[in-house]
Amino acid sequence: KSSNLKGYAPICLGLEDFYTRRLYLRIQDCFGRPIASAPDAWFDVVERYSNDSNKTLHRTTKTSKCLNLGSYNYLGFAAADEYCTPRVIESLKKYSASTCSVRVDGGNTKLHVELEELVARFVGKPAAILFGMGYVTNSAIIPALVGKGGLIISDSLNHNSIVNGARGSGATVRVFQHNNPAHLEEVLREQIAGGQPRTHRPWKKIIVIVEGIYSMEGELCKLPEVIAVCKKYKAYTYLDEAHSIGAVGKTGRGVCELLGVDPADVDIMMGTFTKSFGSCGGYIAASKEIIDHLKHICPAHIYATSMSPPAVQQVISAIEVILGEDGSDRGAKKLAQIRENSNFFRSELEKMGFEVLGDNDSPVMPIMLYNPAKMPAFSRECLRQKVAIVTVSFPATPLLLARARICISASHSREDLIKGLEVISKVGDLVGIKYLPVEHEKTTS
Ligand code: PMP
């Protein structure tokens, strides 16, 4: 269908078999190009990231430089940093870019051991293990923890890496309604013989998997309630902190710190280094017994090349800054700034009449577009005005719940945020996505 946004109206071209063997609508713009390859779409090639803590991007297409409201660079560490960068360069000289070896055979540098100890201390668990990629951390660790005869109960909006890990584990998988501890309890009761807590049950092991901040919802996990249910039914808790570790909590220790949960009450803590720490890789933190078990049996630990040493050094240095162990208060300032920036941006969007998902303090802020046809129009118009924003729909969300997902960083200045808000407001009017009534100031008579 055409619309008044000439050139931007996408059309849906029937149903296709996706790799998951599910059906989906293929969305093309009105020139018949798939959205992903249409000019100026978000998916085009980035020529370079700028030096200003990645708050702006340099792109190869018409927009030469634009405000970046789409990066997971929550604390601004994904750029040259006075403390981290010299240390990363030093580690590159000392160890090179790759160990070219697995951990168990020559790939276990002093840095890897140091980071495992530091991560364990940071998140408040006895031990930790590193992996080269966050995605693999979930997809390889879940099958190493639970298999045939086990039960996984997974939040319905968990990340694809969790879904794949659960599917590949051979365990029975059940899904509970998103962030709904009462439904989690219902599912658990159904799966336990007699429906009574602590009675005989057919499962060797039960693991409940949740996320700290849901990546497409910007919502905080109802962790205290989830833990209470898990304790009652003797299930293990597995918490993915990809978007929350380093980003929330007074000292950056994630949702446990923010929600007043004792880390001892979470059995398995998973996180990635690709967001708040400006690096790559992932970790699992847990008891010494669990970590030892994983070190001995997890194929992704035994057969995969270890994390790149400069990437390891980047995380060590970033955590040192966060903890103030660099001798400055930059870490504390970054944490206060991301909180202030996130809460300011969210409340301004809401005042403008956008439907914004998620909770206060969360730097992830989805603005609902609903109709996937509005995605390319929204992102291209923002980009034309030099603001880069990620838009998402199926398969990352249900098809008709398309959204623009803003990620706020401590490195955004107030001027950046105001510019972003102005552009989003204009484009919101253009594509028609302001749904909520705007409260006008009451006038006194
Ligand atoms: N878990 C969650 C919740 C994620 O959002 C992501 C990716 N954004 C991952 C795991 C995978 O992490 P990585 O990108 O570091 O591989």
Q: Which residue ranges of the chain lie beneath pLDDT 50? A: 1-26, 29-31, 35-42, 440-445
State whether residue 208 is helix, strand or coil.
strand
Residue 228 corresponds to which tokens in the numbers above? 């209470």
Nearest CA to ligand 1 atom 11: 135
| Ligand 1 neighbourhood includes 275 CB (under 6 angstroms) | no
| Ligand 1 neighbourhood includes 71 CB (under 6 angstroms) | no
Nearest CA to ligand 1 atom 13: 134
Sheet holding 151-155, edge to edge: 127-131, 282-286, 268-272, 236-240, 206-211, 151-155, 172-176
| Ligand 1 neighbourhood includes 401 CB (under 6 angstroms) | no
Tokens 């966050």, located at residue: 134
| Ligand 1 neighbourhood includes 364 CB (under 6 angstroms) | no
Domains of the chain, with CATH numbers? Answer: 34-68+330-431 (3.90.1150.10), 84-323 (3.40.640.10)
pLDDT of residue 198: 52
Pocket test for ligand 1, best of 73, 133, 274 (most atoms within 8 A of CB): 274
| Ligand 1 neighbourhood includes 272 CB (under 6 angstroms) | yes
User: What is the spatial distance between Cα 22 and Cα 290, in angstroms, rounded to a whole number?
Assistant: 36
**135 Cβ neighbours under 8 A, 6+ residues apart:** 160, 161, 282
| Ligand 1 neighbourhood includes 211 CB (under 6 angstroms) | yes
Say if pTM beats, i.e. exceeds, 0.80: yes
Pocket test for ligand 1, best of 155, 161, 240 (most atoms within 8 A of CB): 161
**101: phi then psi, degrees, rounded to nearest 5:** -150, 155
Decide if 201 contacts 191 (C-beta within 8 A): yes
pLDDT of residue 437: 54
User: What is the spatial distance between Cα 412 and Cα 213, in angstroms, rounded to a whole number?
Assistant: 20
Decide if 92 contacts 309 (C-beta within 8 A): yes
